[in-house]
Amino acid sequence: MTDPQVYLLDHGSLVIDRSQVLWHFDIGTPVRFPVYSVLIKHKDAVIIYDTGFDMEHVQKVLPFELPEQTDDQTMIGALKLAGVTPSDVDMVINSHFHFDHVGGNKHFTHATTVVHKEEIRHLRAPEPFEHLGYSDKSFDSTAKYKVISGDDYELLPGIRLFETPGHTAGHYSMLIEMKKSRSMLFAGDAAYTIESLEKEVIAGFHLDPVASVESIRRLKYLAKVHDADLFPSHDMVPFVDWKKAPASYGG
Ligand SMILES: [Zn+2]
């Protein structure tokens, strides 16, 4: 069996304060960070994990995050680099439903959107401090949901979801098992950066800080036992060196 082919789709960048990347560190220091999604061509289905941000939404609701996105970095443009159109995608899985992870979901109305039951509850009834995070609900009325729960959920053979709550209630990280190269573990926002992992410092945005710390520790454990490379969600330093579409991993 060949390994799945994995494309990292570059969706541009946003700016937040470093104290939101690493809670309480360096208050007043803006940081520009990347936003990406993961397209997987698996023998049984085409899957996308996270879908970036929608430029119009961010300009309207969060213009202070100074969004930058070229035509190639929109969902349609980035998919084209991987030789795919939205109708080719069978399944959408979001690490969580924050606006910078769901911006392209609205393009996949025909696909199945897999979501943790706690995440969909928070999208629809967020805590007061979660309102901006869950501000892009553009996909909610048209998505075909498959609501799931539980840990070590096998999405397809070799593609597994692990619960990593804390940043949000129903957060999933994703492991892609490879035979011919190193497996890939996508943290989602359970770890924004390599520094978060090393120092075990959580992001400023979170629902439960203690659970967030436990999820960081869990990710490091999972990477070790599965012999996987760990990909944080918003770290410009490793991101510039990763292969982005049209290049790919696995296959
Ligand atoms: Zn988030």
Give the pLDDT band (50/70/90) at residue 76.
very high
Q: Is the pLDDT of residue 1 over 80?
A: no
CATH fold of the domain at 5-250 = Metallo-beta-lactamase; Chain A (3.60.15)
Q: What is the predicted pLDDT for the residue at 129?
A: 94
Q: How far is CA 240 from CA 9, 16, 33, 72, in A?
A: 12, 18, 11, 16
52 Ramachandran zone, left/alpha/beta (phi>0; psi -120 to 50): left
Question: What is the Cα–Cα distance from 33 to 22, expressed in whole angstroms?
Answer: 13
Q: How far is CA 31 from CA 34, 168, 189, 237, 243, in A?
A: 10, 22, 16, 12, 22
Give the pLDDT band (50/70/90) at residue 180.
very high
Residue 142 CA to chain centroid, in angstroms? 20
- How far, in Å, is the centroid of ligand 1 from the Cα of 96? 7
What lies within 8 Å, CB to CB, of 200 at 6+ separation is 213, 216, 217
Which positions are annotated as active-site residues?
100
Question: What is the Cα–Cα distance from 10 to 77, expressed in whole angstroms?
Answer: 10
pTM to 2 decimals?
Answer: 0.96
Phi–psi pair at 34, nearest 5 degrees? -80, 155
- Residues flanking ion ligand 1, Cβ below 5 Å: 98, 189
Q: Is the pLDDT of residue 230 over 80?
A: yes
| 3-state SS, one letter per residue, for the chain | CCCCEEEEEEEEEEEEEHHHHCCCCCCCCEEEEEEEEEEEECCCCEEEECCCCCHHHHHHHCHHHCCECCHHHCHHHHHHHCCCCHHHCCEEECCCCCHHHHCCHHHCCCCEEEEEHHHHHHHHCCCHHHCCCCCCCCCCCCCEEEEECCCCEEEECCEEEEECCCCCCCCEEEEECCCCCCEEEEEECCCCCHHHHHHCCCCCCCCCHHHHHHHHHHHHHHHHHCCEEEEECCCHHHHCCCCCCCCCEEC
Tens-place pLDDT, residues 124-156: 999 999 999 999 999 999 999 999 999 999 999
Query: What is the mean pLDDT of the segment spanning 73-92?
Result: 98
- How far, in Å, is the centroid of ligand 1 from the Cα of 97? 7
- How far, in Å, is the centroid of ligand 1 from the Cα of 134? 9
Tens-place pLDDT, residues 186-214: 999 999 999 999 999 998 899 999 999 99
Phi–psi pair at 239, nearest 5 degrees? -55, -40
Q: What is the mean pLDDT of the chain?
A: 96
- How far, in Å, is the centroid of ligand 1 from the Cα of 250? 27
- How far, in Å, is the centroid of ligand 1 from the Cα of 34? 13
